[in-house]
Amino acid sequence: MPSHDVLIIGAGLAGQRAALAAAQTGATVGIVSKVHPVRSHSVAAAGGINAALNPEDTWESHAFDTIKGSDYLGDQDAIEIMCREAPGEILWLEHAGVTFHRNERGNLGTRAFGGASAARTYYVADITGHAILHVLYEQLMKHSDTVDRYEEWFCTDLLQDDDGRCVGAICRNLRDGHLEVFNTKAVILANGGAGQAYRPTTNGLIVTGDGIAQAYRIGARLMDMEMIQYHPTTLAGNGLLITEGARGEGAWLLNAEGERFMEKYAPNKLELASRDVVSRAEQTEINEGRGFPDGTVALDITKVPRRRTLEALREIVNIGRDFAGVDITREPIHIHPGQHYIMGGVKTDSDGLTTIPGLYAAGEVACVSVHGGNRLGANSLLDTLIFGRRSGEHAGGLARQMTMPSTPPTRVTDTERHIKDIINRPPGGRRVAAIKDELGDTMNKYVAVFRDADGLNKAYEVVRRLKEEAPKATIDDRGAVFNQDVIGAIELGYMLDVAEAIVVGAQERKESRGAQFRTDFPERNDDEWLKHIDVTANGDDVPKVSYSPVTITKWQPQERTY
Ligand SMILES: Cc1cc2nc3c(=O)[nH]c(=O)nc-3n(C[C@H](O)[C@H](O)[C@H](O)COP(=O)(O)OP(=O)(O)OC[C@H]3O[C@@H](n4cnc5c(N)ncnc54)[C@H](O)[C@@H]3O)c2cc1C
């Protein structure tokens, strides 16, 4: 039985940063990933990472922008930590080998991003996630004596002892299908988000909410689940992202009449208002008939000097050419708002501790909450690294004071039985992919930029029905080696749990704040709703809803204009 002081599920930026930090405390570490670590979804992060590192900028300004961006739902103590620690993290990354862009004076250069009062986004062209992820992986190699990597292993369940403490996990080796019980003093969930519960999404096929659902199933509290970010610039049909870096470099948004419509919605920040504001503005233009017939508006990147686009935005030059047949240096490209990010997740404190003893969470799977109702662009990479590191340090410290708990080995038989049941399902039923598509389409129709009670109720009915259908969904592959059909069937269950929590949160919040815009409750209502909505599992019944307070340190809620 593999046994490690700290077991990390997920090897994107949050997981790898946590692994490095835990290893540096002297703990032994196991890090599990269902894909090779450098294929984790963090590799897709494009535009950059925020920090108030320039002498003329301040962490307080970064914190205020983040709080305002969150529509005052973010916890200000956690935001303070993130913004204070950001400059040190950027320098640490640069010293570790991340080739951040440098300006003509040879200093680290920045670009502007949405909702920020200063240009404080550090970047590597438009491949920032890729660059950081590879450097972290190199750094992890240095610790190969104490860090064991389980690459292409899939975690199916978290294990608790009789007192409810998380003491391990069950994982399946995807190469041959065998299951192992992992024993540990602390588990850090770093499984990323849940974008695949929507269709389309900017998120890759592997982003299926596994960690959120696994934590929820063992009783962990989820928070801010209703807050789903729609990114303003995604390609119609396939959801591919055109980075906010394009608008940061000077691109304009135009409706079908050629009007720069952001002048009406955000006269000061224009295209660089926060994402919820820009997505709503675009959707309003489209809904009121000023979009293009394909349900889009245009992003005009020709406003950016061509040389600069080819240097700093080269990935989206390729995306435009390959996926839309458009040379973005010469003509506008059609875009619309698309599902991108989940602000909610497993509720944690600022050291990553969840409501389950022994269980931590960091990165997109977690909700600290530093993003509240709306995440600012380039604050997610920062969140993964700051709270990944803090979780690793804390879990490593905890491990030093503990002896290894014993794990009940019999639990593996439940998982074996579950997988056998999936493989033995009779053919001819509805396919996993068909159920997943219905889920994604439903969420994208009713739990999107604009919501109302009727639509949310419809979404809830569909999710409940799909939860009944999913355990009978048919698969084709009955083998043991790289059986992605089995994994897909398990992931579908996770996505349905996550979707249910999202819908329940959205039904509960009867106001408009951040990414949750209720057309039936169009105003923000601080008197009644300046609070987090927490969701916990309740057997097969409707999830249980409760509330927790928003931490306000020194920034009182104000009217939010850009
Ligand atoms: C296209 C795109 C561009 C973006 N650009 C930016 C940007 O410029 N700046 C910014 O701040 N943010 C950006 N974001 C958001 C940001 O990239 C993500 O929020 C962040 O990278 C998530 O990192 P993570 O470590 O939490 O998860 P991930 O990188 O998604 O890693 C999850 C890990 O968990 C593993 N895993 C999941 N489930 C299991 C399981 N059951 N068993 C075993 N392993 C499992 C996966 O294999 C993977 O290793 C972007 C997002 C997208 C989609």
The binding-site residues of ligand 1, defined as CB within 6 angstroms of any ligand atom, are 9-15, 32-35, 37, 40-42, 44-49, 128-129, 154-155, 190-192, 202-203, 206-207, 210-211, 241, 341, 363-365, 378-381, 384
CA angle 289, 230, 556 (to 5 degrees): 110
pLDDT (0 to 100) of residue 237: 83
Instruction: Give residue-wise pLDDT tens across range 189-216.
Output: 999 999 999 999 999 999 999 999 999 9
- DSSP for 174-222 reads TTT--EEEEEEEEEEE-----GGGSSSBSS-TT---HHHHHHHHTTPPE
Q: pLDDT band for position 381 (50/70/90)?
A: very high
Q: pLDDT band for position 410 (50/70/90)?
A: low
Q: Count of CB atoms within 10 A of residue 531's CB?
A: 14
Q: pLDDT band for position 236 (50/70/90)?
A: confident
Give helix 59-69 / helix 76-96 axis angle, nearest 10°.
120
- DSSP for 23-88 reads HHTT--EEEEESS-GGGSGGGG--S-EE---STT--HHHHHHHHHHHTTT-S-HHHHHHHHHHHHH
> Residue with the nearest Cα to atom 21 of ligand 1?
42
Rounded distance between C-alpha atoms, residue 12 and residue 10, angstroms: 6
Q: How far is the CA of 381 from the centre of ligand 1 (A)?
A: 9
pLDDT (0 to 100) of residue 119: 95
pLDDT (0 to 100) of residue 438: 98
351's CB contacts (< 8 A; 6+ apart) are 360, 390, 391, 393, 394
Using CB atoms within 10 Å of the CB of residue 536, give its burial: 0 to 12 exposed, 13 to 18 middle, 19+ buried.
middle
**pLDDT above 90 for 413:** no
> Which of left, alpha, beta for 555 (phi over 0: left; psi -120 to 50: alpha)?
beta
Among 33, 208, 375, which is best to mutate for testing ligand 1, by the most ligand atoms less than 8 A from CB? Answer: 33
Given 17, 275, 280, 524, which residue is catalytic? 275
Look at 540 and 498; give whichever has higher pLDDT.
498
Q: How far is the CA of 424 from the centre of ligand 1 (A)?
A: 33
> Residue with the nearest Cα to atom 51 of ligand 1?
45
SS3 content of the chain, % helix, strand, coil (to 5): 40, 20, 40
- Residue 341 — φ and ψ, nearest 5°? -160, 150
Instruction: Name the token pair of 219.
Output: 């009783």
pLDDT (0 to 100) of residue 449: 98
Q: Residue 15 CA: which ligand 1 atom is closest?
A: 25
Q: Residue 171 CA: which ligand 1 atom is closest?
A: 42
Instruction: Name the token pair of 517.
Output: 């815009």
> Residue with the nearest Cα to atom 20 of ligand 1?
42
What's the average model confidence in pLDDT over 341-370? 98
Instruction: Give residue-wise pLDDT tens across range 156-196.
Output: 999 999 999 999 999 999 999 999 999 999 999 999 999 99
Q: How far is the CA of 117 from the centre of ligand 1 (A)?
A: 26
What is the torsion angle, in degrees rounded to the nearest 10, for the CA atoms of residue 264, residue 265, residue 267 and residue 270?
Answer: -110
Q: How far is the CA of 12 from the centre of ligand 1 (A)?
A: 6
Instruction: Give residue-wise pLDDT tens across range 420-469.
Output: 999 999 988 899 999 999 999 999 999 999 999 999 999 999 999 999 99
Question: CA–CA distance from 59 to each of 66, 447, 559 (Å)?
Answer: 10, 34, 22
Instruction: Name the token pair of 257.
Output: 């009449």
What's the average model confidence in pLDDT over 108-126? 94
Q: Residue 191 CA: which ligand 1 atom is closest?
A: 34
Question: What integer best gives the mean pLDDT of the chain?
Answer: 96
Q: Residue 195 CA: which ligand 1 atom is closest?
A: 53
pLDDT (0 to 100) of residue 178: 95
- DSSP for 92-109 reads HHHHHT----B-TTSSBP
109's CB contacts (< 8 A; 6+ apart) are 100, 101, 102, 103, 122
Q: How far is the CA of 163 from the centre of ligand 1 (A)?
A: 32
Among 40, 198, 201, 383, which is best to mutate for testing ligand 1, by the most ligand atoms less than 8 A from CB? Answer: 40
- Of 1, 195, 56, 122, nearest to 377 by C-alpha is 122
> Residue with the nearest Cα to atom 53 of ligand 1?
203
**pLDDT above 70 for 385:** yes
Tell me what percent of the residues of the chain surpass a pLDDT of 90: 96
pLDDT (0 to 100) of residue 408: 62
**pLDDT above 90 for 541:** no
What's the average model confidence in pLDDT over 542-560? 97
Rounded distance between C-alpha atoms, residue 332 and residue 461, angstroms: 40
Among 182, 247, 380, which is best to mutate for testing ligand 1, by the most ligand atoms less than 8 A from CB? Answer: 380
Instruction: Name the token pair of 348.
Output: 């944690």
Q: pLDDT band for position 251 (50/70/90)?
A: very high
In angstroms, the first-to-last Cα distance of the chain is 55
CA angle 279, 503, 386 (to 5 degrees): 65
- Of 200, 196, 213, nearest to 436 by C-alpha is 196
Q: How far is the CA of 530 from the centre of ligand 1 (A)?
A: 29
What's the average model confidence in pLDDT over 473-499? 96
Q: How far is the CA of 229 from the centre of ligand 1 (A)?
A: 14
pLDDT (0 to 100) of residue 411: 75
> Residue with the nearest Cα to atom 6 of ligand 1?
45
Task: Verify whether residue 39 is a known catalytic residue.
Answer: no
Rounded distance between C-alpha atoms, residue 508 and residue 35, angstroms: 36
pLDDT (0 to 100) of residue 412: 84
Instruction: Name the token pair of 343.
Output: 């602000």
Q: Are 52 and 87 in contact (CB under 8 A)?
A: yes
The full length of the chain comes to 562
Q: How far is the CA of 136 from the centre of ligand 1 (A)?
A: 14
Rounded distance between C-alpha atoms, residue 300 and residue 330, angstroms: 9
- DSSP for 338-399 reads EEEEES-EEE--TT-B-SSTTEEE-GGGEE-SSSTTSPPTTSHHHHHHHHHHHHHHHHHHHH
- Sole residue written with tokens 């403490």: 165
Half-sphere exposure (Cβ direction) of 150: Cα atoms closer than 13 Å: 28
Q: Are 79 and 42 in contact (CB under 8 A)?
A: no
What's the average model confidence in pLDDT over 382-393? 98
Q: Are 191 and 204 in contact (CB under 8 A)?
A: no
Instruction: Name the DSSP class of 332.
Output: -
**pLDDT above 80 for 529:** yes
Among 16, 42, 113, 368, which is best to mutate for testing ligand 1, by the most ligand atoms less than 8 A from CB? Answer: 42
Rounded distance between C-alpha atoms, residue 524 and residue 518, angstroms: 10
> Residue with the nearest Cα to atom 8 of ligand 1?
47
> Residue with the nearest Cα to atom 31 of ligand 1?
12
Q: How far is the CA of 344 from the centre of ligand 1 (A)?
A: 14
**pLDDT above 80 for 409:** no
Instruction: Name the token pair of 495.
Output: 């996505």
Rounded distance between C-alpha atoms, residue 54 and residue 358, angstroms: 38
What's the average model confidence in pLDDT over 549-561? 97
pTM given for the model: 0.98
Instruction: Give residue-wise pLDDT tens across range 72-85.
Output: 999 999 999 999 99
Among 191, 201, 234, which is best to mutate for testing ligand 1, by the most ligand atoms less than 8 A from CB? Answer: 191
